[in-house]
Amino acid sequence: MATSLASQLSGPKSAISFSSPPHFSGLRPSSNFKLDNTHSFFQNVDSHKGCRPVVSMAGSGKFFVGGNWKCNGTKDSISKLVSDLNSAKLESDVDVVVAPPFLYIDQVKSSLTDRIEISGQNCWTGKGGAFTGEISVEQLKDIGCKWVILGHSERRHVIGENDEFIGKKAAYALSQNVGVIACIGELLEEREAGKTFDVCFNQLKAFADALPSWDDVVIAYEPVWAIGTGKVASPEQAQEVHAAVRDWLSKNVSAEVASKTRIIYGGSVNGGNSSDLAKKEDIDGFLVGGASLKGPEFATIINSVTSKKVAA
C-alpha cells in the first residue's frame, strides 16, 4: 500500500490531523463568502455539454485515468501488476496512463500492453546535465514516456517545490512534446480557512503563466487531505472545485481551453467510490494512487467511465 502523505509530513506547516473525516459546508467561510451566483455559474459551465451528447461531461476530452505508483513496487510485484493489467478488460473510450517508479519504467514499457501509456512521476526544468538525482524530459522520451506528473502535493509539501519551479518543469516538458498531468489542490487547513479556490487558482495561474499551450495538459485536482488517507472528497465537493477550475480557465485562458482540458480527480479514489465520482459532469477521470497498485481494482476505476454514459 502507498505510504500515507499525512505520515510523511513534518513541521508546523504540515501538522494535519486526519483522526476523523472532515465535514465542510463550503469552500470559503460563510461570513465572508457566499456563492450567490450558483445558478448562473453552473449554467455557464453547462454550455460545454454539447461537445459529447452521449456522455455526461462538461469538457470535450476523452475520459482519462492515470495510475501513480509512487515509490512502490519491486521487479516481481510490478511483473504481477503488469500481468493483471494486460489481462484486464478495459473500456475503449478511456485514455489510460501509469507512472511507475523511474527504475522500473523500462520493465513496464517492454511488457505492458500498448493500450496503456507510460508516464514519468517527475522531471527536471530543462535539458539534462550536472543535476544529480534528476531525470530529464529527454530521458523520459527516450525510454518511451508520453506523459509526466508535475506539481503533485508530495512534491510540493514534502520536497518543497514551489509554483514557479513546477511551472518551468511543465513548460519544458510540453516544449519537448511530453504531456503534462498538472496537479493542484489544497491542504486541510486551507480548506477549513475557506481558501480552496484561492490556492487552486494560484497554482493554476503559475501553470498558465508558464505554459506555451494547454494542448496535452490534463489538470488533476487532488485535495491534500484526501491523498493516501482513505478520506475522499464527496462527489459534490469534487464537482464544485472542478466546475470552478473550468470556469477559471474560461475566464483567464479561453473558453476553448476550458472546454477541451480534462480535469481529473485524485485523492483516495478506489473501486468503491469511482462510479459515483465519475457521474459528475466536470470530473473527466481520475489520478489514482494506492488503488492503481491492484490490477483488478484499477480496471474497475478505469471502467467507471460507463457511469458517465447517459441516454442520447
The single residue of 152, 157, 190, 242 carrying the catalytic annotation is 152
What are the phi and psi torsion angles at 178 (to 5°)?
-110, 125
Q: Rounded distance, CA 11 to CA 288, Å?
A: 27
User: 148, 180 in Cβ contact below 8 A?
Assistant: yes
Rounded distance between C-alpha atoms, residue 124 and residue 69, angstroms: 19
In 3D space, the residue among 216, 236, 226 whose CA is nearest the CA of residue 266 turns out to be 226
154 included as an active-site residue: no
Q: How many CB atoms lie within 10 A of CB 115?
A: 13
Which region, left, alpha or beta, applies to residue 216 given φ > 0 means left and ψ of -120 to 50 means alpha? left
Q: What 8-state DSSP symbol labels residue 176?
A: T
In angstroms, the CA 225 to CA 169 distance is 25
Contact criterion met (CB below 8 Å) for 265 and 226: no
Please name the residues in contact with 312: beta carbons below 8 A apart, sequence gap of 6 or more.
53, 54
- Compute φ and ψ for 235, nearest 5 degrees: -55, -35
Please tell me the chain's helix, strand, coil percentages from 3-state DSSP, rounded to the nearest 5: 45, 15, 40
DSSP output for 41-57: HHHHHHTTGGGSTTB--
Q: Is residue 152 flagged as an active site residue?
A: yes
| Active-site residue, from 154, 186, 190, 222 | 222
CB atoms within 10 A of CB 141: 16
Positions marked catalytic: 152, 222
